[in-house]
Amino acid sequence: MAKYRCPMCRKISSRHLDLARHYLGQTDKKHKEWLKTQDLSYAKLIKMQVKEFGNKGYEALAEVLKREAPEVEDPK
């Protein structure tokens, strides 16, 4: 099974949605700055997540991470 690495740290997840959850749980500058390089806003993603039904904030970020998060080898 493929695994994906956070573009800003060493966190590895098996699903892009889980990686998005990790990402929005981070409040440090480097994670927030990366969002800006993708034309995303941390605050807007959090608002989407809280106000809209169905994990809209996570899903929006997961779509970007599908393109940007590097795939890593699954150590066996």
Read off the pTM: 0.86
Residue 74 has pLDDT above 70, yes or no: no
CA 62 to CA 44: how far, in whole Å? 14
**Per-residue pLDDT reduced to its tens digit, 1-28:** 789 999 999 899 999 999 999 999 998 9
Q: What is the mean pLDDT of residues 27-35?
A: 93
Given this model, what pLDDT does residue 76 score? 55
In the beta sheet, which residues pair with residue 13?
Answer: 4
| Residue 24 to residues 27, 68, 74, Cα–Cα distance (Å) | 7, 16, 24
- Closest Cα to residue 63, out of 46, 28, 38? 38
> What are the structural domain ranges in the chain?
3-72
Residues in the chain: 76
- Which residues make Cβ contacts (< 8 Å) with residue 11, sequence separation at least 6? 5, 19, 22
